[in-house]
């Protein structure tokens, strides 16, 4: 079963690497301003805030979460193709909402992976590393290919890969809840929201993820504004993703030996250091090199975050907690990061954009330090509650 999960993550992140890092360049090439691009990315994330917790609750009631994943895989490329149909802001606005809604099932896959890993004896990091590896390999090629043939070809790539994902979904394990919860939708979500340690942790992750969103969304435009070689854009994501691979593999051992909060504190330090260096515009080669910090930080932060959310979740509410985590630390942070990042880039320039991003990273570091003193005793075990 570990091989099926690994293959799913491998293909899923090939699809993400072939599309997501280049959406801003594609939209910019259609005449959309950086401010409008930020708003388009932000509104899509807003749809995810609503859709993700609802899908998580439905999943916790479902007899087979593969149905939700399959529906997401089928609808996502259809919605993504909508970006190619218009040069106007408002139609693209609608596409962003529909695409984000279709893609909102992603945290359910993480919940399923953590649950099956506990049952079968493998860690989340051991399968997630295949996503990092495929992301690295894909971005290494995609940046050069799109520089030659244009980014519009990524619609066909995404569609073809989605067919492979749909086929793989049928081989994932059926994951009915151990016992069906009896409360309604709002009571179920409220039971998760009333967990103060969980919500505080997710709130801090939201701050750090906002800085990550700014970097991910606007790094290609950072390159463009500083007149760095555009063919090198993909190498930044490649270096980061290659570094993620060994750290995802070792994340379980690191988490056990060092402790979860020390791991996320280290991740926030590495992210902040990277943003400070980038604020000084050190040159294209140096920017590529410091993506080592990004890859290390992301692998440690994300693998630990998923495990901690699972450990903090109320019994039989793992998927609800994971999708709430995805909605706030993922979708909401993308709203803030995309909208604020676009405005900062347009009015302050690329260097000041990263000075502000470094400040956001520092705030997350402070938050994790506070949480360590206040809530570490509640997160000592990283065994998910299922």
Provide the pLDDT for residue 74: 94
Helices (H) and strands (E) in the chain — how many of each? 17, 0
360 CB-contact burial (10 Å; exposed 0-12 / middle 13-18 / buried 19+): buried
Task: Return the structure tokens found at 147.
Answer: 């520089």
Provide the pLDDT for residue 379: 47
Q: Which residues contact 250 (CB under 8 A, 6 or more apart)?
A: 125
Task: Walk along the chain (386 residues) in steps of 10 and give the mean pLDDT of each run.
Answer: 92 91 85 83 74 70 78 93 87 90 82 83 84 82 79 89 95 62 54 78 93 89 88 84 86 85 94 96 93 93 85 73 79 82 86 94 94 63 42
Of 105, 133, 89, which Cα lies nearest the Cα of 243? 133
Provide the pLDDT for residue 315: 67
Helices assigned H by DSSP within 62-195: 66-80, 89-102, 106-120, 124-149, 154-169, 185-193
| pTM value > 0.75 | no
Each residue's pLDDT tens digit, 223-232: 888 988 887 8
Provide the pLDDT for residue 190: 66
Distance from C-alpha of 66 to C-alpha of 72, rounded to nearest angstrom: 10
Provide the pLDDT for residue 358: 96
CATH architecture of 2-378: Up-down Bundle (1.20)
Contact 379, 197 (CB under 8 A): yes
Output the furthest CA–CA distance in the chain (Å, rounded): 58
Provide the pLDDT for residue 260: 86
Distance from C-alpha of 384 to C-alpha of 362, rounded to nearest angstrom: 29
Provide the pLDDT for residue 224: 86
């Amino acid at each position: 079963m570990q091989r099926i999960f690994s293959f799913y993550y491998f293909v899923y992140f090939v699809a993400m690497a072939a599309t997501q890092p280049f959406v801003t360049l594609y939209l910019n090439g259609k005449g959309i301003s950086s401010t409008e691009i930020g708003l388009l990315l932000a509104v899509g994330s807003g749809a995810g805030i609503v859709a993700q917790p609802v899908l998580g609750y439905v999943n916790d009631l479902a007899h087979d979460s593969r149905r939700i994943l399959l529906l997401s895989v089928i609808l996502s490329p259809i919605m993504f193709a909508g970006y190619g149909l218009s040069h106007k802001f408002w139609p693209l606005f609608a596409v962003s909402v529909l695409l984000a809604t279709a893609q909102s099932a992603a945290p359910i896959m993480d919940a399923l992976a953590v649950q099956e890993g506990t049952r079968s004896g493998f860690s989340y990091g051991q399968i997630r590393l295949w996503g990092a590896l495929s992301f690295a390999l894909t971005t290494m090629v995609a940046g050069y290919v799109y520089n030659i043939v244009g980014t519009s070809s990524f619609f066909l790539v995404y569609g073809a890969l989605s067919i492979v994902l749909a086929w793989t979904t049928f081989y994932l394990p059926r994951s009915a809840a151990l016992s069906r919860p009896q409360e309604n939708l709002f009571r179920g979500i409220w039971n998760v929201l009333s967990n103060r340690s969980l919500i505080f942790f997710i709130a801090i992750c939201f701050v750090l993820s906002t800085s990550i969103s700014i970097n991910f969304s606007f790094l290609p435009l950072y390159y463009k504004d500083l007149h760095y070689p555009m063919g090198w854009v993909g190498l930044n994501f490649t270096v980061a993703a290659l570094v993620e691979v060994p750290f995802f593999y070792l994340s379980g051992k690191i988490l056990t030996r060092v402790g979860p909060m020390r791991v996320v504190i280290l991740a926030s330090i590495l992210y902040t250091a990277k943003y400070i260096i980038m604020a000084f515009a050190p040159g294209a080669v140096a920017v590529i090199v410091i993506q080592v910090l990004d890859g290390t930080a992301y692998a440690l932060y994300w693998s630990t975050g998923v495990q901690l959310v699972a450990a903090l979740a109320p019994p039989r509410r793992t998927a609800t907690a994971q999708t709430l985590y995805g909605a706030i630390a993922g979708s909401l942070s993308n709203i803030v990061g995309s909208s604020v990042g676009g405005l900062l880039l347009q009015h302050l320039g690329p260097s000041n954009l990263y000075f502000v991003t470094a400040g956001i990273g520092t705030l997350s570091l402070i938050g994790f330090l506070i949480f360590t003193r206040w809530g570490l005793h509640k997160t000592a075990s990283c065994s998910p509650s299922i």
